[in-house]
Amino acid sequence: MKKFLVLVASFLGALFIVMGLPALMNRSVAVYSGRDSETSAVSQSILRIDSEPHTVQKIYNAGQLIGVLSSQNRLNAYLKQVYADDYAETFPDSSVALGKDVYVEEEQSYFVYQNVDDDIFSYLHDNELFSLAATVVDFSDDSGVYAEIAVANADLYQQAMQDFLSMFISQSDLAALSAGQSTGELTAYGSRATGISISQTITTRDDYASPSDIKTTKEEILDYLEYGDNQDREYYTVERYDTVAGVGSKNNGLSATQVMNLNRDKISNVNQVLNEGEVLCVTYFTSPIDVVVTQESMRQETIYPSTIYQEDDTVREGESFVKQAGVNGSQNTVYSERWINGVLISGEKISSVETLQPVDEIITVGTLEIPGYGTGIWRWPVDNVHISCAWGCYANHEADDIQNFYDRYGPIYAADRGVIEENSYDPISGNYVIINHNDGWYSYYGHMYVPSPLAVGTIVDKGDVIGQIGMTGRATGPHVHFFIFQKDENGNRELHDPCEFLDCDATI
């Protein structure tokens, strides 16, 4: 019986050697092991089956077997050669590793495989399954990491970040604050930064990334800091007589500084003359981070004199005369401001010093009723005056577009005493009011939020509220379209720039 079993075993072994082994050796199934059989991406034969197991290195891409390596050392040498041949010039001081989803696993096997290292390497190369040593920048908030970018090196990222921050703060203030120093006290009109921070957390780490994902220039990194992954841009073609401020006024109410920053390759000064036909970007930053700048700003503000009416029963009712002319005063006011990515978020008055005391106007009247006659001394129709688009900032713009810098929808005041002559609406100016000052002058207030509550014929005093700042009609942001005019003998308007009568240099 024992001899019979030996004969049977010998027969089955011979049968396996003659039929089974060649079948296994000629197929491209890479291995049979503890896991199910795996089909390799690279065709690879089994040369023989050893009686004892040995260690093999299997290389995978996202769980798919590529093949079995003959040697880890050969793979390491190949990766060094790939770096030298393909990446060393563009990515100096780096190194090549396998791609993010490519990995090598060791396991025990009885099979001896055909050496197909060159085919495996070709597969890696053809499918660009490599990664490079880089600096990865993580952006996180309270919910964790929400974005990351890979850059060629940390110095390049820091240069781009400095350029980005310099759009919202002067380089001297940035340098002082970064060194923990004060930017000095304000001694003249203007602004100084008191703090700068980024709302999110930014960290850097050494890691590997796909070569196509690594930003290799400062310009690429800066573009990401400005817009993130947003690729949408809106452009404007410069028309004749356009100014930098005018372009901003026509496009979402951008400031001249914002237009300059968006087009710093073309515009270096807010007063730069633009070329007709030039194409400018008018899409403001959609940065993945919030750069918060706090600053103090000193402004010169006008103190408007009060008007005192003195009744005189020797003067006929309805008649009046100026007994003492009013004179505007002035004060230096310091505001604390908070800006995010170059956009003003809030402003608060923290101090003011009177530099010139106003002189009250005294008017003798023959009645207690205030007459609707102009004083000839004008005031701005809003507080915290900022001229967003001056007279002529674009073709046929014959007015000053003025904003309340800290209260976008604040009140509108009568610029002088007078009578409401028109309270109406048109498609361009929206809700508007015209005041007749009964001294040959008229004033115009456009884009009111809602129609003025004052009826035609209402007598108003200088500084009376006549409406609310808005953007009705054709306007890209809340402001007052303000101008002063006279009428000729034919009733035609002769328009005047308010800056002829008011100090526009003292505005914000």
**Tens digit of pLDDT for each residue in 361-378?**
998 877 544 567 887 889
CA–CA dist 342, 39 (Å, integer): 57
Mean pLDDT of the 472-501 span: 95
CA–CA dist 90, 84 (Å, integer): 10
Which amino acid, 336?
A: S
The pLDDT assigned to 315 comes to 67
The pLDDT assigned to 20 comes to 43
**Nearby residues of 216 by Cβ (< 8 Å), 6 or more positions away:** 90, 91, 151, 152, 156
Pairing status of strand 418-426 against strand 430-436: antiparallel
Report the C-alpha dihedral over residues 89, 94, 95, 100, rounded to 10 degrees: -110
Look up residue 19 and give its DSSP letter: I
Mean pLDDT of the 51-77 span: 95
The pLDDT assigned to 317 comes to 53
**Tens digit of pLDDT for each residue in 233-242?**
999 999 999 9
Using DSSP's 3-state secondary structure scheme, residue 11 falls into helix
The pLDDT assigned to 363 comes to 87
Using DSSP's 3-state secondary structure scheme, residue 100 falls into coil
The pLDDT assigned to 18 comes to 38
Query: In this structure, what are the phi and psi dihedrals at residue 20, rounded to the nearest 5 degrees?
Result: -75, -45
Q: What angle do CA 503, 507, 508 make, to 5 degrees?
A: 170
**Tens digit of pLDDT for each residue in 186-202?**
888 989 999 999 999 99
Of the listed ranges 275-279, 293-297, 305-309, 416-420, the least confidently predicted one is 305-309
Using DSSP's 3-state secondary structure scheme, residue 371 falls into coil
Q: Residue 463 corresponds to which tokens in the numbers above?
A: 């500084």
Specify the CATH number for 372-508; select among 2.70.70.10, 3.30.2090.10, 3.40.50.20, 2.60.40.1120: 2.70.70.10
Q: 218-227 and 154-165 helices cross at what angle (nearest 10)?
A: 50
Strand segments, DSSP code E, in 86-213 are: 96-98, 102-113, 130-141, 144-151, 190-198, 201-209
Which amino acid, 181?
A: Q
CA–CA dist 482, 66 (Å, integer): 74
Look up residue 201 and give its DSSP letter: E
CA–CA dist 10, 3 (Å, integer): 11
Using only the alpha carbons of the chain, give its radius of gyration. Answer: 39
The residue ranking higher by pLDDT, 177 or 27, is 177
CA–CA dist 42, 126 (Å, integer): 12
Specify the CATH number for 290-369; select among 3.40.50.300, 3.30.360.10, 3.40.50.1820, 2.20.230.10: 2.20.230.10
The pLDDT assigned to 120 comes to 97
Mean pLDDT of the 402-414 span: 96
The pLDDT assigned to 127 comes to 94
Domain chopping of the chain, boundaries: 2-128, 131-182+199-230, 239-280, 290-369, 372-508
CA proximity to 57, closest of 97, 30, 77 = 30
The pLDDT assigned to 212 comes to 92
Q: Supply the mean pLDDT for the chain.
A: 89
Mean pLDDT of the 89-105 span: 94
Q: Say yes or no to pLDDT of 12 above 60.
A: no
Where does the pLDDT of residue 316 fall: very low under 50, low under 70, confident under 90, or very high at 90 and above?
low
**Tens digit of pLDDT for each residue in 412-429?**
999 999 999 999 999 999
